[in-house]
Amino acid sequence: ALPTDVQRMDLSQTLGLLAVADGDPSSVKLLEPASLATVLALPVPGPVRDVGFADDGTTLVAVVGDATSAAVCAWQLKGSDDGLRVRRERCAPLPGVPLRLAVSPDGERLAVATDAGSTPVMDVRRLEIEVSIETPSAIRDLVWYDPSRPGPPVPEWSDEGPPTLSVGRLPGPSDR
């Protein structure tokens, strides 16, 4: 069964595993998608807020924490005939309680929205902050947009001005 209180999840097509953020204060879980059986539970230093797969789908990233401490953790995973192995594990502190994370389309960078209005952008392999985007209030949702990948169309008014309603030619009074 799916863990209770699942808030976020991400699928690695490379590993064939589902990572879930369910607020567990001690681990992030990797599940087998068909049966939802736990394959591996990775220890974390606080409640799991969000998860995502980076690189080619073999690096799991999780943001964890609460008002007392917060961190971003990454695990480089490798599937084998013997099961799943953790090749490398690391964590780095965050400047606020994490709300959401977004992995860049190339899988090399990570952005983390925090409750303090700070959004650090970091290298996934080193977990070092490259730049921090400051906003007056917390960003509640975060998506990394790649214009070269197909996806939902961006409304044409978003860059050119306000939307206009075009209903075609309305019949004149004599045509009614």
pLDDT tens digit string along 25-39? 889 999 999 999 999
Strand partners, 12: 17
pLDDT in tens, 67-94: 889 999 999 999 888 889 999 999 999 9
Determine the average pLDDT of the residues in 126-142: 92
Strand partners, 122: 110, 129
Q: How far is CA 67 from CA 49, 61, 171, in A?
A: 12, 20, 62
For residue 162, the model assigns a pLDDT of: 54
| pLDDT beyond 70 at 167 | no
Non-local (6+) Cβ contacts of 167 within 8 A are none
For residue 153, the model assigns a pLDDT of: 56
* Angstrom distance (rounded) from CA 28 to CA 20: 6
For residue 154, the model assigns a pLDDT of: 52
* Angstrom distance (rounded) from CA 85 to CA 33: 18
State the burial class of residue 119 (Cβ atoms within 10 Å of its Cβ: 0-12, 13-18, 19+): buried
| pLDDT beyond 50 at 157 | no
Q: How many CA atoms lie within 13 A of 28 on its CB side?
A: 29
Q: What backbone torsions phi and psi does residue 174 show, to the nearest 5 degrees?
A: -75, -20
For residue 108, the model assigns a pLDDT of: 93
Determine the average pLDDT of the residues in 59-72: 93
